[in-house]
Amino acid sequence: MSKTRIAMVTAAAAAILATAACGSSQSPSTDRDSAAAPASVPPPAATPTPQATPPSATATDRPTAPGTTATGKPSASATGGQKNAKPGTDTQRDASGKPGTESATESGTPSGKPTPPTQSPTAPTTSAKPSTTAPPKPKPSATEEAKAKYDPRCMTGRAMCIDKTTRQLTWLIDGVPQYSFEVRFGSQELPTREGAFKVDFKSKDHVSTLYHTPMPYAMFFSGGQAVHYSPDFAANGYKGASHGCVNVRNKPLVEKLFAESQVGDKVIVYRS
């Protein structure tokens, strides 16, 4: 049974082949040429050579600024979801869109509040103003003070300068005051004469021949008028008056003047 089936299949196949060969319009030479020519195989496609990436283009070689990605664009955390900032401005805007505020920084400053600058207090600068105070005047010398204070006739030589206004007798040598003391003058009935005089004579223990009163350390300059020590002036002061003489109550100084003065020294009696 199997052999019969195989034979039938073989016969059918041979019939089909014969029919196909009869229906073909091509010549046997053409079929041979086409059968002999091998089919053309397309050339293999060229494999592209990978190019080396330059070192400068790698993300690891370029330092990444804080808040930016490897491509140089600001990261989402740095911008805080903000819109693109206008070129030429450095002011960031917070979530509300107000300029001058920043998002929370690493130090923990709350977002939306500007960070006040830390400045150390400095002393206010004041411009120097020119001084309006006049420089102190130099202190006048003793001679200059004497010129302003005493009669000009007392400024030369040796002089007893007697001022009836200040009731002072000053002993001057070449315009320089040596010392001063208080004096008392005569009454209105017996005034002490004023003017320029000189010492006529000296008497240490003199007694008045008219009034019979003591006149110690007397230095006469105008008749019977003299500069001398007065115990009454020492005891009563200006309550009394002399008979025209110049009374002195400072005994030590009148003794000193009596010892230093000479006949011929000037005696100037005046009012300042």
State the average pLDDT for the chain. 73
Averaged over 72-86, what is the pLDDT? 44
Q: How confident is the model at residue 249 (pLDDT cuts 50, 70, 90)?
A: very high
Averaged over 146-172, what is the pLDDT? 94
Whether 212 is catalytic:
no
Q: How confident is the model at residue 41 (pLDDT cuts 50, 70, 90)?
A: very low
Rounded Cα distance between 238 and 228, Å, is 16
Q: Where are the alpha helices (DSSP H) in the chain?
A: 2-23, 28-36, 76-79, 142-149, 231-236, 251-260
Q: How confident is the model at residue 188 (pLDDT cuts 50, 70, 90)?
A: very high
Query: Residue 21 pairs with which residues in a beta bridge?
Result: none
Residue 183 lies in a domain: yes
**CATH number, domain with residue 156:** 2.40.440.10
Q: Kindly state the percentage of the chain with pLDDT values over 90.
A: 45
Residue-level pLDDT at 216: 97
Whether 243 is catalytic:
no
Residue 196 lies in a domain: yes
**211 has pLDDT over 60:** yes
Residue 51 lies in a domain: no
Rounded Cα distance between 272 and 79, Å, is 97
Rounded Cα distance between 160 and 27, Å, is 180
Rounded Cα distance between 57 and 192, Å, is 124
Averaged over 172-193, what is the pLDDT? 97
Residue 105 lies in a domain: no
Residue 251 lies in a domain: yes
The residue with greater pLDDT, 38 or 161, is 161
Q: How confident is the model at residue 137 (pLDDT cuts 50, 70, 90)?
A: confident
**Sign (positive or negative) of CA dihedral 242, 248, 251, 257:** negative
Residue 28 lies in a domain: no
**Rounded to two decimals, what is the model's pTM?**
0.50
Residue 125 lies in a domain: no
Residue-level pLDDT at 122: 61
Residue 179 lies in a domain: yes
Q: Kindly state the percentage of the chain with pLDDT values over 70.
A: 54
Residue-level pLDDT at 133: 77
**8 has pLDDT over 90:** no
Given 154, 161, 206, 228, the catalytic residue: 228
Residue range of the domain that includes 204 = 143-270
How many domains are there within the chain? 1
Residue from 154, 157, 136 nearest 145 by CA: 154
**159 has pLDDT over 50:** yes
Which of 58-67, 112-121, 148-157 has the highest mean predicted lDDT (pLDDT)?
148-157
Task: Say which amino acid occupies 229.
Answer: Y
Radius of gyration of the chain (CA): 71
Least confident of 88-97, 142-151, 248-257: 88-97
* Segment 104-118, tens digit of pLDDT: 344 444 455 666 666
Given 154, 161, 206, 245, the catalytic residue: 245
Q: How confident is the model at residue 125 (pLDDT cuts 50, 70, 90)?
A: low
Answer yes or no: are the C-beta atoms of 226 and 219 closer than 8 Å: yes
Q: Count CB atoms within 10 A of the CB of residue 85.
A: 14
Q: How confident is the model at residue 148 (pLDDT cuts 50, 70, 90)?
A: confident
Rounded Cα distance between 235 and 177, Å, is 27
Answer yes or no: are the C-beta atoms of 218 and 202 closer than 8 Å: yes
